[in-house]
Structure 1
Amino acid sequence: MLLPFPTNPDTAADDSLDGLVLAGGSATVENLVAAYSRGIFPWPVPGWPVLPWFCPPRRGILRLERRHVGRTLARVQRQSTWRISFNEAFEQVMYACRQQPRPGQDGTWITPQLLRGYTALHHAGYAHSVEVWDGPELIGGLYGVSVRGVFAGESMFHFRPNASKLALLALTDTLLEQGAGLLDIQQLTPHLAALGAEEVSRPEFLALLAQEQAAGRTLRFPA
């Protein structure tokens, strides 16, 4: 059943609870597409018996025309012999992201329900992965959701230095080639800030989201 997501999350979000919009339902393809089209995403909270959906008061974004690739990272990208692919190992990437050690997190927010939900979303053509390979070994990658011409990054992992960074560069290269202007990164991290990402208010994010959606763009990813 489709959840009653608000048309304007800015007026519906409870900022005393980090921008909670509603709680309940499940991560079905129908709910995930409806949520992301409104700038809302699910984020399980330990101890909560239901699935919460958020549109935080502050949002991490990368305006793609402002992307900055430092000389060191550009050299790593230029000299790398690793192979980069799209959508070859979506479930492997999700499981690797779930296992990736993160300060202050244990990975449990990628719950079995989300693993099933995003895998179904992938098969429906809305969720995508970028993989980095050293021979047959998966050493880094990311996954996210593409709805109405906007890509929302969900999680990244690496087993070798710079592997996830190269996955992100491959993603942003692909988005730039198609004229996309926005990458929703949800939360700002030091690496993404070095790439040119910033944090904006929810109203500004929602305005940028609407602007990108109005372009009527359909994002496509290499086979």
Structure 2
Amino acid sequence: MYYLSKALFFPPVSDADVDGILAFGGDLSPERLQLAYKSGIFPWFNEGEPIIWWAPDPRMVLFFDELIVSKSMRNILNRNHFKVTFNQNFREVISNCQQVKRNGQIGTWITNEMIDAYCKLNELGMAKSVEVWQNDQLVGGLYGIDLGHVFCGESMFSLVSNASKVAFIALANQLKKDNYQLLDCQVYNEHLESLGCVEIERTVFMEILKTV
């Protein structure tokens, strides 16, 4: 297991353990975070823990042609109950992702330190958000890291039913239009699977990530 120093370095993702943990320590500087995502690595840790860096195998991703939009969801989208914007209120989106309560989860892994770090990345144009509005109120959204050909989703939230799905579908459609190769969703969960996400081998993910 690697313990990172101040040096700007990550070991190869093939050195991650069976759970996907690659390294501990380091910092959340913009330079380190940019290197991490470009290297197929992301931070995920709880308050009070050292920074834990992950490179899971398999990797959960969405190929845009596999996006699943249910009939009920299509009806919701066609009714125009929601308005979607891109990168208009990043800090409010990530703050909602931190604060929203999730079933079976105690606390949050989105610390105040992470919020400040990702807001700096947003200022640099690398971290971006999707906002979902209803009656001029922010009711859902997501944020992630934009690598230009791959978008690495980090977290999403809903304050009303289906708002996060609206954000996810809108992002997927926009990325497809802009010729991105995939939406990285990191690790498996049933909700992502219901939207068409699949697990692929880490080696395949890295080949796509390194494509320019």
TM score, norm. by length of structure 2: 0.91
- 1:192-211 superposed matches below 5 A: 192-210=192-210
Instruction: Read off the aligned partner of 2:171 and give its amino acid letter.
Output: L
Contact map agreement 1:2 1:30 (CA 8 A) in 2: no
Instruction: Read off the aligned partner of 1:40 and give its amino acid letter.
Output: I
Unaligned runs of 5+ in 2: 1-5
Corresponding residue for 1:112? 112
Where 2:153 maps in the other structure, the secondary structure is strand
Corresponding residue for 1:20? 21
Deviation at 1:63?
1.1
Q: Cα distance 1:2–1:177, how it changes in 2: closer, same or farther (>3 A)?
A: farther
Corresponding residue for 1:122? 122
Deviation at 1:123?
0.4
In the alignment, the residues of structure 2 paired with residue 65 and residue 25 of structure 1 have an alpha-carbon distance, to the nearest angstrom, of 37
Instruction: Read off the aligned partner of 1:36 and give its amino acid letter.
Output: Y
TM score, norm. by length of structure 1: 0.87
How many pairs are equivalent?
207
Unaligned runs of 5+ in 1: 217-223
In the alignment, the residues of structure 2 paired with residue 45 and residue 13 of structure 1 have an alpha-carbon distance, to the nearest angstrom, of 19
In the alignment, the residues of structure 2 paired with residue 41 and residue 181 of structure 1 have an alpha-carbon distance, to the nearest angstrom, of 19
Contact map agreement 1:131 1:167 (CA 8 A) in 2: yes
In the alignment, the residues of structure 1 paired with residue 133 and residue 161 of structure 2 have an alpha-carbon distance, to the nearest angstrom, of 13
- 1:144-223 superposed matches below 5 A: 144-210=144-210, 214=211, 216=212
Corresponding residue for 1:220? none
Corresponding residue for 1:5? 10
Deviation at 1:136?
2.5
Cα root mean square deviation, aligned: 1.6
Corresponding residue for 1:219? none
In the alignment, the residues of structure 1 paired with residue 185 and residue 71 of structure 2 have an alpha-carbon distance, to the nearest angstrom, of 23
Corresponding residue for 2:3? none
